[in-house]
Amino acid sequence: MAARLSQLRITGGVRLRGSIDISGAKNAALPIMSAALLCGETLTLENVPALMDVVTMTRLLEGMGVKASALQSGHLTLNGADIHHPDAPYELVRTMRASILVLGPLLARCGRAKVSLPGGCAIGQRPVDQHLKGLIAMGAQIRVEHGDIHARCTRLKGARIVMDLVTVTGTENLMMAATLADGETVLENAAREPEVLDLARCLQAMGAQIEGAGTDTIRVVGVQHLHAARYAVMPDRIETGTYLVAAAATGGEVLLTGAAPQTLDATLEKLREAGAQIECTDQSIHLKMHGRAKAVSLRTAPYPAFATDMQAQFMALDCVAEGTGVITETIFENRFMHALELQRLGADINIQGHTAVVRGLPRLQGATVMATDLRASASLVVAALVAEGQTTIDRIYHLDRGYESLEKKLTALGATVERIG
């Protein structure tokens, strides 16, 4: 986790080869960490990735009174015995939208919360109306004033909540709030992402009564207290997918261990379509790519369909594949910013609204490009690995938010990569 002004310099043209371990999932670790607010005893976590977002979430929780140990070899303990300041300030929320995940737990545990509104971000508006609607249905009083959400309640009450759209952190927030509510909460049109299931399993280990996580109907019967637990965060399916795409784009062969192949069906299917040979065990994925990839078309949608967090990386793959790929983004309205940067490397991409038509070229050329968000940055890394010559990626603090030991892992796979600054 280096300074914000670092750049990554990659010399392309090497086929990735070798084996690396996959880290714990950022998008599971963040909600699970905020679950520590629900309980007065210690939550002991394993397989927590060393990422900037995890540091930010730790700071956020510490500001509220949570006692946190230093993150070491994936271990982190969080003790929420004394939550004296249920406030998520703008300085932290603006650097990490997932900060909104503290709202439900704070309200359920303390009966009050002040959380700064996340605001817009590079990939789109990302409102939190569904989070608020659900909490109001559970009896919370909420007003938004001067950019802050102010929420209050006595004890939250179980309710049947039909979400207007599928939201991952919205589902997680409401599921956490419901664990301490009075009576039964039913969440309809819930997100089915594996990270929601991972959070539910951690909450169950803490004594919560939850059924149906991983389906679109989740039932939670509130309890009076949650208790201490130990839980290992699931493997990161997006990190896994990113290394698989990088290996496929470079015509390489990699073995990823400590992975969860069962959470990657849509990604693996597209990689096979691109020509990769893939074999999985319970916890590992072996990918071998013969020659140049074939372009694939895809459409992002909520799990189990193709993940929006993998869209940018596949666009980079299509840029150097044989044929033309059509990529449609249905989750976020402004998630093609990487396309402009990929064009700086010579890519042929034509964007019409939510659809990008990518004509594969035999090669890209190295250039200086700018990371705009986390997964956009990952696509630039993939493209840089196949481009001729050197590519310098600016603003890589985005990558540090979500990829643990990126240079170390890429180097272990044979890439020529260095961090500057």
Binding stretches for ligand UD1 (CB under 6 A): 27, 30, 97-98, 124-131, 165, 167-170, 195, 308-309, 331-332
Q: How far is the CB of 333 from ligand UD1 (least distance, A)?
A: 7
- Give Cβ neighbours of residue 336 (< 8 Å, ≥ 6 apart): 315, 329, 351, 356
Question: Which residue lies nearer to ligand UD1 by CB, 169 or 379?
Answer: 169
Handedness of CA 317, 321, 327, 333 (dihedral sign): positive
Question: Which residue lies nearer to ligand UD1 by CB, 64 or 168?
Answer: 168
Q: How far is the CB of 342 from ligand UD1 (least distance, A)?
A: 19
Cα-based torsion angle of the residue sequence 100, 105, 107, 113 in order, rounded to the nearest 10 degrees: -40
Please, where are the H alpha helices in 51-154? Answer: 52-64, 90-93, 103-110, 129-137
Q: CA separation (Å) from 349 to 109, 301, 356?
A: 49, 21, 6
Closest of 135, 197, 189 to residue 167, by C-alpha? 189
Question: Which residue lies nearer to ligand UD1 by CB, 135 or 271?
Answer: 135
Among residues 39, 121, 153, 280, the one annotated as catalytic is: 121
Cα–Cα distance, 167 to 160 (Å, whole number): 16
Burial class (CB in 10 A: 0-12, 13-18, 19+), 221: middle
> Token match 């359920």: residue?
108
Question: Which residue lies nearer to ligand UD1 by CB, 30 or 213?
Answer: 30
Q: How far is the CB of 373 from ligand UD1 (least distance, A)?
A: 10
Contact status, residue 77 vs residue 45, Cβ threshold 8 Å: yes
Strands (E), 95-233: 112-116, 141-145, 148-152, 160-162, 184-188, 209-211, 217-221, 229-232
Cα–Cα distance, 232 to 22 (Å, whole number): 14
Question: Which residue lies nearer to ligand UD1 by CB, 79 or 308?
Answer: 308
- 121 annotated active-site: yes
Q: Given phi > 0 = left and psi -120 to 50 = alpha, else beta, which region is 406?
A: alpha
- Give Cβ neighbours of residue 258 (< 8 Å, ≥ 6 apart): 21, 22, 23, 235, 283, 284
Cα–Cα distance, 332 to 352 (Å, whole number): 15
Q: How far is the CB of 147 from ligand UD1 (least distance, A)?
A: 17
Question: Which residue lies nearer to ligand UD1 by CB, 129 or 418?
Answer: 129
Contact status, residue 342 vs residue 383, Cβ threshold 8 Å: yes
Question: Which residue lies nearer to ligand UD1 by CB, 128 or 370?
Answer: 128
Contact status, residue 257 vs residue 20, Cβ threshold 8 Å: yes
Burial class (CB in 10 A: 0-12, 13-18, 19+), 82: exposed
Based on its alpha-carbon atoms, the radius of gyration of the chain, rounded to whole angstroms, reads 21
Q: How far is the CB of 131 from ligand UD1 (least distance, A)?
A: 5
Q: CA separation (Å) from 412 to 59, 244, 256?
A: 31, 14, 12
Cα–Cα distance, 324 to 327 (Å, whole number): 10
Question: Which residue lies nearer to ligand UD1 by CB, 200 or 254?
Answer: 200
Please list the active-site residues: 121
